[in-house]
Amino acid sequence: MSCQVLVLNSGSSSIKFSLFDEQQSKLVSQYNGQITGLGLNAHFTVCGFDNNESISLSKTTDHLSALKYLFDWLKQKLNSNKELFVGHRVVHGGNDFHLPTVVTPEILTKLKKLEPLAPLHQTYNLAAIESLMHIDQAIPQVACFDTAFHANHGKPNNQFALPDQYYEQGVRRYGFHGLSYEYIATELKQTEPELASGKIIVAHLGNGSSLCALNQCKSIDSSMGFSALDGLMMGTRCGSIDAGVILYLLEEKKLNAQQVNDLLYKQSGLLGVSKVSNDMSALLQSEESTAQEAIDLYIHRIIREAGCLLALLKGIDGLVFTAGIGENAAEIRKRICDELVWLGVEIDENANRENCSEISTNDSTVRVLVIPTNEELMIAQHTYEILNNEVSMPRKLAIGN
Ligand code: ADP
C-alpha cells in the first residue's frame, strides 16, 4: 500500500502543514497551509494542486481544536486506499535522539524533558504530537529533530568551558536548523557534487537565523549552541550574549527568570534594536534610522560568526544562502558578500538582484549559491523511510520533489 505523509510544524501561535502523496516512488507535494493566530484570531489558509482556501476560525481555536479542524478538512482530501503517516519538526533531540524517531507515549515523555532547552519551540512541537494522539492514537507519528544533523560535532566543538559534570548532564552545544542544512547538503550532493565534497558555509537566514560549517556535506560546527538563542541576531532573539549580561539583569535589574526569557527570546533581535519590526522586509522598507541600525547589527553579527566558522574550516569553497531572508533579500546577501571580498568573494549584481541560483561571478574564488530550503520534504522523506520500513514492505524513495 502506498502512503500520504502529513508534515506538521507546530509553533506557539501557528501550525504549518504540508501533505505529500507517494506517487511512483516519489513524494509529491499536494497541499501547503497553515493555521495562524491560535488563541487570538485563528485563520486557516491552504494552497493546493486543486484549490486554495482561506477561512477564519473560531477565536478560541487552540492547538488541539486547530488539529481537529485540519483533520476534518483533510478527510475530504486523503486517499482512503493509502496509509497516512505524520512527521513532525521537533526542535530539540537533546543527547539521546540523533535520528528520526517513531513517537510513543514513552518517547513523548522523554522529549518533554527537553522543553526548557527550547521554550519557544519544543512545547508547541510536542503539543501537536500529543493532540494527534488524542485525535487518533493509531496514526503513526515520527519526530524529526533540528539538532540531529549536528549530532557528530564532538569535543571541543560541542563543549562549553564549564566543569565537565555539566557536559555529562547535557549542557552542550547542539546546533539547530539541522533539517534545513540536511536538505541543502542533499541538494548539493546531487546538483554540485564537486562543491559538495569541499568546504561550505550555509547561512540559514529566516526569523530564526544560523550558520553551519559543512565539510564534505557533514556539519562541523554551527553558530547555534545549547539553545536556539545562540549565535546570530534574529527576528526577536538576541543571539550570542555575554553571560554576564544575564547575571546583571537578574541581580542588579531584578528581572525574574521569566522576564529575562521573554526579553531574550521575544523582545530582542531585529525587533528590539529597531523598535519597528522583527520582519526583515519591513525593515528594508523602513525609513527609521533604528531600522538601519538593526540591519547593520544583523550583518555585523553574521560576519563575526562567519569568521569563526571560516577559521575552523580553514577557508571555504562555497557560501550558500537559504531561508526567507537568504533566499529573497538581495540587499542583505550583497552586504554580506561585500564584507567577504577579502576572501575572494565576488558577486554578479544582476544575478543577485534576480535571486538566481548562483550569484557569484566566474572570477570569484568562492562560489555563492542561493538554494531554497525544504525542511518539510526532508521531514516527509525521513517519516516515509522510517515508517515504510516498519509498516509494510520497504520501498526505496527516489529523491526529489
Ligand atoms: P521562519 O524562520 O519563520 O521559517 P522564514 O524563513 O520564512 O522564517 O523567513 C522570514 C524572514 O524572511 C522575515 O524576516 C521576512 O521579512 C524575510 N523575507 C521574506 N521575503 C523577503 C524579501 N523579499 N525581502 C526581504 N526579506 C524577506
Per-residue pLDDT reduced to its tens digit, 350-395: 999 999 999 999 999 999 999 999 999 999 999 999 998 775 544 4
In this structure, are strands 209-215 and 199-205 parallel, antiparallel, or unpaired? antiparallel
Q: Write down the mean pLDDT value for the chain.
A: 94
Q: What's the 375 CA to ligand 1 centre distance in angstroms?
A: 15
More confident residue, 50 or 4: 4
pLDDT of residue 319: 98
More confident residue, 82 or 379: 379
Say whether both 83 and 48 belong to one domain.
yes
Q: What letter would DSSP give residue 396?
A: P
What b/e readout covers 221-248, taking b as 16+ CB neighbours within 10 angstroms? bbbbbbbbbbbbbbbbbbbbeeeeeeee
The yes-or-no verdict on residue 203 having pLDDT over 90 is: yes
With CA atoms as reference, report the closest residue to 11 among 174, 147, 122.
122
The yes-or-no verdict on residue 6 having pLDDT over 90 is: yes
Q: Is the CB of 280 under 6 A from ligand 1?
A: yes
The yes-or-no verdict on residue 401 having pLDDT over 50 is: no
Q: Distance between CA 14 and CA 69 in Å, rounded?
A: 13
Distance of alpha carbon 147 from its chain centroid, rounded?
10
The yes-or-no verdict on residue 15 having pLDDT over 50 is: yes
Say whether both 346 and 382 belong to one domain.
no
**pLDDT over 70 percentage in the chain:** 97
The yes-or-no verdict on residue 273 having pLDDT over 50 is: yes
- Tell me the CATH number at 208: 3.30.420.40
Q: Which residue pairs from 164-171 have beta carbons closer than 8 angstroms and sit at least 24 positions apart in sequence?
A: 170/94, 170/95, 171/226
Q: Is the CB of 281 under 6 A from ligand 1?
A: yes
Q: Distance between CA 335 and CA 205 in Å, rounded?
A: 14
Torsion sign, CA atoms 334, 337, 342, 344: negative
In testing the pocket of ligand 1, which one of 209, 233, 325, 353 has its CB within 8 Å of the most ligand atoms? 325
Q: Is the CB of 207 under 6 A from ligand 1?
A: yes
pTM: 0.93
pLDDT of residue 391: 57
What is the rounded average pLDDT of the residues 338-347?
98
Name the closest-CA residue to atom 19, ligand 1: 324
More confident residue, 78 or 142: 142
CB contact at 8 A, 204 and 323? yes
Q: Please state which of the ranges 18-27, 191-200, 269-278 shows the lowest mean pLDDT.
A: 18-27
What is the rounded average pLDDT of the residues 331-354?
98
Distance of alpha carbon 79 from its chain centroid, rounded?
29
In testing the pocket of ligand 1, which one of 34, 124, 202, 207 has its CB within 8 Å of the most ligand atoms? 207
Q: What's the 282 CA to ligand 1 centre distance in angstroms?
A: 10
Say whether both 223 and 358 belong to one domain.
yes
Say whether both 94 and 27 belong to one domain.
yes
Residue 146 known to be catalytic: yes
- Residue 48: its H or E element: strand 43-48
**Residue 204 located in a structural domain:** yes
Say whether both 233 and 327 belong to one domain.
yes
Q: Is the CB of 269 under 6 A from ligand 1?
A: no
| Residue appearing with cell numbers 562541523 | 220
Give me 214's grid cell.
559543512
Q: What's the 205 CA to ligand 1 centre distance in angstroms?
A: 8
Candidate list 62, 96, 146, 363, residue with the active-site label: 146
What is the rounded average pLDDT of the residues 268-277?
98
**Residue 158 located in a structural domain:** no
Say whether both 138 and 231 belong to one domain.
no
Give me 394's grid cell.
520497504
Closest-lying ligand 1 atom to the alpha carbon of residue 323:
6
CB contact at 8 A, 144 and 5? no
Q: Distance between CA 167 and CA 152 in Å, rounded?
A: 15
> What residue type is 289 in one-letter code?
S
Say whether both 133 and 251 belong to one domain.
no
pLDDT of residue 397: 53
Polymer length in residues for the chain: 401
CB-based contacts of 96: which residues, under 8 Å, 6+ apart?
110
The yes-or-no verdict on residue 109 having pLDDT over 70 is: yes
Give me 274's grid cell.
529597531
**What is the extent of the structural domain holding 54?**
3-145+376-388
Ramachandran sector of residue 94 (left: φ over 0; alpha: ψ -120 to 50; beta: rest)? left
Say whether both 217 and 81 belong to one domain.
no
**Residue 285 located in a structural domain:** yes
pLDDT of residue 117: 83
Q: Is the CB of 83 under 6 A from ligand 1?
A: no
In testing the pocket of ligand 1, which one of 14, 274, 280 has its CB within 8 Å of the most ligand atoms? 280
What is the rounded average pLDDT of the residues 59-79?
88
Q: What's the 238 CA to ligand 1 centre distance in angstroms?
A: 17
| Residue appearing with cell numbers 486554495 | 52
Q: What's the 72 CA to ligand 1 centre distance in angstroms?
A: 30
Distance of alpha carbon 39 from its chain centroid, rounded?
23
Give how many domains the chain has, as a whole number: 2
State pLDDT tens for residues 211-268.
999 999 999 999 999 998 999 999 999 999 999 999 999 999 999 999 999 999 999 9
Q: What letter would DSSP give residue 78?
A: S
What is the rounded average pLDDT of the residues 82-101?
95
What is the rounded average pLDDT of the residues 39-50?
90
Q: Distance between CA 130 and CA 63 in Å, rounded?
A: 10
Distance of alpha carbon 364 from its chain centroid, rounded?
29
Q: Is the CB of 276 under 6 A from ligand 1?
A: no
Q: What's the 370 CA to ligand 1 centre distance in angstroms?
A: 14
pLDDT of residue 284: 98
Q: Is the CB of 52 under 6 A from ligand 1?
A: no
**How many Cβ atoms from other residues are within 10 Å of residue 315's Cβ?**
12
Q: Distance between CA 44 and CA 16 in Å, rounded?
A: 10
Say whether both 231 and 119 belong to one domain.
no
Q: What's the 324 CA to ligand 1 centre distance in angstroms?
A: 3
CB contact at 8 A, 35 and 42? yes
The yes-or-no verdict on residue 346 having pLDDT over 90 is: yes
Q: Is the CB of 279 under 6 A from ligand 1?
A: yes
The yes-or-no verdict on residue 54 having pLDDT over 70 is: yes
Say whether both 132 and 236 belong to one domain.
no
Torsion sign, CA atoms 191, 192, 194, 198: negative
Say whether both 110 and 224 belong to one domain.
no
pLDDT of residue 393: 47
More confident residue, 82 or 286: 286
Q: How far is CA 289 from CA 69, 237, 260, 283, 286, in A?
A: 44, 20, 27, 10, 8
